[in-house]
């Protein structure tokens, strides 16, 4: 097993990725809490709607949810290794004089 060197670029990238994942999960938790509070108050005041057509979701929650979905796709499906591979490729091109 490799020793952990805090100056190793892979370690730095791993720390950054973990921080991004933590921030993403915090955003989902905040969304869920705010959504539950807002619509929980609505349901306690007005009761549960008789059909789903009467239930209206605020545009703020729709946009917020879409932003979280996009961040999740970017974080989990578009791997950061691709970016580092492209950076290394460009550095090699510049060092070899191949543009």
Structure confidence at residue 97 as a pLDDT band (50, 70, 90): low
Higher-pLDDT residue of 70 and 51 is 70
Structure confidence at residue 34 as a pLDDT band (50, 70, 90): very high
Give the residue among 62, 90, 55, 69 at the shortest CA–CA distance from 27.
69
User: Given this model, what pLDDT does residue 53 score?
Assistant: 61
Token digits for 90? 């460009």
User: What mean pLDDT, rounded, does the chain reach?
Assistant: 81
The dihedral through the CA atoms of 89, 90, 94, 98 has a sign that is positive
Structure confidence at residue 99 as a pLDDT band (50, 70, 90): low
Check: pTM over 0.85? Answer yes or no. Answer: no
Please check the confidence at residue 78 and state whether its pLDDT lies above 50.
Answer: yes
User: Given this model, what pLDDT does residue 47 score?
Assistant: 76
User: Given this model, what pLDDT does residue 1 score?
Assistant: 43
């Amino acid at each position: 097993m490799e020793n952990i060197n805090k100056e190793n670029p892979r370690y730095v990238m791993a720390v950054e990725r973990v921080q991004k994942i933590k921030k993403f999960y915090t955003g989902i938790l905040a969304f869920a809490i705010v959504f539950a509070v807002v619509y929980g108050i609505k349901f306690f005041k007005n009761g549960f709607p008789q059909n789903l057509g009467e239930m209206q979701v605020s545009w703020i929650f729709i946009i917020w949810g879409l932003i979280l979905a996009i961040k999740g796709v970017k974080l989990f499906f578009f791997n950061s290794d691709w970016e580092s591979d492209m950076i290394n490729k460009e550095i090699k091109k510049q060092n070899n004089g191949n543009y």
